[in-house]
Every structure is written in C-alpha cells, then in structure tokens.
Amino acid sequence: MVVLGGGPAGYTAALYGARAGLSVLLLEKLSPGGQLATTDVIENYPGFSEGINGFELAMKMKQGAEKFGAKSKLAEVISCSLAGEIKELQTKKETFLAKTVVLAAGAVPRELGVPGEKELRGKGVSYCATCDGMFYRGKTVAVVGGGNTAAADALYLSRLCEKVYLIHRRDALRASKSYHGPLEQAGNIEFVWNSQVTALKHEASLTGLIVSEKNTGNEQEISCDGLFIAVGHVPETALFQGQLALDEAGYIPADETTRTELPGVFAVGDLRKKPLRQVVTAAADGAVAAYFAEEFLSKKS
Ligand code: NAP
C-alpha cells in the first residue's frame, strides 16, 4: 500500500495498514503533518484535553505509524497511473509500484486573487499565521476571511501583534461559535465587516491595504505590515485529473468507504468530498481506507 500524503489522514491509513500486516510506504513532499503541522493549538482532537500543538500531534501520528512498520519517505509524486492492477507513482528520482493506493494529499490555501498577491508573498503576504506570525511581533496585521482558519489565525496573531484587523466580506463569521467570544475579548482585534481587499499598498514589502465596503462602495486604507489570507482551501487533486472524476470544486467523490471509482484507490481527508473537514474526520477516513484496502487485497489473493 502506498499512501500519498503525510497529514492525519495519511498517517492514520499508514498506521492501520501496517498494523494489519500490509507493507506500507507513505510519501510526503514537505514535512509530516500537512496543514496540521502549521496549526498552533488543536483543541478539538479527542484525548488532548489541554490542547496540543499541531506539529507535535503530527510527529506523534508519524511515530505511531512507524511503530507498526510503516515506512515514510520525503518525496514529491509528480505523476501517477492509478487505473491498472499495479499502480505506479513517479517522483523525480524513483517509481513506486503498489497494489493499492491511498490518496491523502490534502488541500492548500486558496489565493485571494488581489493584484500583487503573488509578488508580495513572503514580503508581507502570508497564508500561514503560525509559520510567519513571529515576523510581525508588535506590529499591525490584517487577516482576511471568516471561517475557522481566519478566526484561529486572528486569535493567534492577537497574542503576538499590537493590532489585528479581521476583514470579512459578510457581516457575520462562518467560524464556529467557540471562536466568537475569544475574538471579541482579545481587545486588539478590530472587525472590518462587509469588506473586500481590493489593492495591496507596498514599497519593498507590504505597507497597507485598500478595502472596499460592499454596501456603500466606500474605500478606506488600512496601514499594516502583514496580510494573512485565510479564504479557504483548494484540494490537491490536479495530479489525479483525467484518471478520477472530480467535483466542480476539485474534490474526489468517494463515500464513507473512501473507495473511489478506481478499484484499489481510496481518497481520504481534505481532498475527499465530505461535509466536515477536521483532524478527527481525516484520521477516521484513514482508518476506513486501510480497512477497505485490506479487504480489497485479500479478495485479490
Ligand atoms: P472556509 O470554512 O471555507 O472559510 C473560508 C472563508 O473565506 C469564508 O468565510 C468565506 O466567506 C471567505 N472567502 C472565500 N473566498 C473569499 C474571497 N475571494 N474573498 C474574501 N473572502 C473569501 O475555510 P477555512 O476557514 O480555511 O476552513 C477550511 C476547513 O478547515 C473547514 O472545514 C474548517 O472547519 C476547517 N478548520 C477547522 C478548524 C477548527 O475546527 N478549529 C480550524 C481551521 C480550519 P463566506 O463566509 O462569505 O463564504
């Protein structure tokens, strides 16, 4: 079994697969954990009543899988062939062959689409508060978005920065209620409702934003040193296009069994079409995929 992606879904599939006696190789392109590793505190993964740092949890998941014999390798899969009985996954240096594959490549932050965004990435524009927040200690930053990521980022940054603007295109957050109280109580978070960022002001790096109010069309300039973009995620499924049907947003349709339309290929975690994307639901997918992968292999032999 080859597992493509080392987030919570991938490492759980690897753990369950290896513990069931399969020969498991997990391929990860960057570092263990995926999005989990860039999360400051996970408070809603059962068993950690005090919360746990995302990277620490990711390392525990990796160690848990390796304890049962799963191997992991840092390697980026650049092409794959999933339809045949033997599936092939190519990296720059090697080709891996597998009888069953678990697709666990996750999702990446969506770009806002404002002019200059790409050029200012790393020069004031960031997609990861826990990775880059420390560069803005004592400074003023803005977060754009209204979901759980934006809420968590704004709270995290409020503890480091002098001031945080939370800019959202509607008049209410989509984020879970559990974030609302802490955001209001932080004392240094200012909400900018019904507003879109329309331009980035900069010299060598970001100096401010132009923000347009939806109802009046009024524009205001917000001076800030950093902009954290948290406007959702897009699934990492481009590699599978043409081999697997994707939905209109790029997710892989697979039901609760995590089976895809291709025999022996399973889709787990944030790239699967499903209603709730959390660490716990990603981990659950991984367990289910390993169960059905094992069943698939035992029927073949
Ligand atoms: P999300 O829930 O899809 O929220 C994206 C936010 O960005 C929405 O508020 C959306 O506005 C806004 N948005 C989208 N496109 C925009 C644009 N072009 N301009 C301005 N705003 C835009 O994404 P997410 O917050 O990244 O969360 C992704 C998944 O991870 C979710 O399932 C979430 O529950 C999970 N997650 C969970 C936790 C947690 O449980 N603690 C923490 C982080 C992430 P509208 O509201 O108007 O649509």
Q: pLDDT for 40-68, tens place per residue?
A: 889 899 999 999 999 999 999 999 999 99
The predicted pLDDT at position 300 comes to 74
Percent of the chain surpassing pLDDT 90: 94
CA 88 to ligand 1 center in whole angstroms: 34
CA 87 to ligand 1 center in whole angstroms: 34
The predicted pLDDT at position 189 comes to 98
CA 105 to ligand 1 center in whole angstroms: 19
pLDDT at 73 exceeding the cut of 90: yes
**Over the range 268-289, which residues count as b (16 or more CB within 10 Å of their CB) and which as e?**
bbbbbebeebebebbbbbbbbb
Q: What number does the ligand 1 atom closest to the CA of 145 have?
A: 7
Q: pLDDT for 113-168, tens place per residue?
A: 999 999 999 999 999 998 899 999 999 999 999 999 999 999 999 999 999 999 99
Which residues face 109 on adjacent strands?
A: 233
For tokens 């975690």, name the residue. 269
Number of separate helices (H) and strands (E) present in the chain: 6, 20
Q: pLDDT for 242-298, tens place per residue?
A: 999 999 999 999 999 999 999 999 999 999 999 999 999 999 999 999 999 999 999
Burial of 29 (C-beta count, 10 Å sphere; 0-12/13-18/19+): middle
Name the band, by pLDDT with cuts 50, 70 and 90, for residue 14: very high
- List active site positions: 128, 131-132
Q: How far apart are CA 59 and CA 37, in angstroms?
A: 9
Q: What is the mean pLDDT of residues 199-209?
A: 97
Name the band, by pLDDT with cuts 50, 70 and 90, for residue 301: low
The mean pLDDT of the chain is 96
Q: Which residues line ligand 1 (CB under 6 A)?
A: 44, 112, 144-150, 152, 169-170, 174, 196, 230-233, 277-278
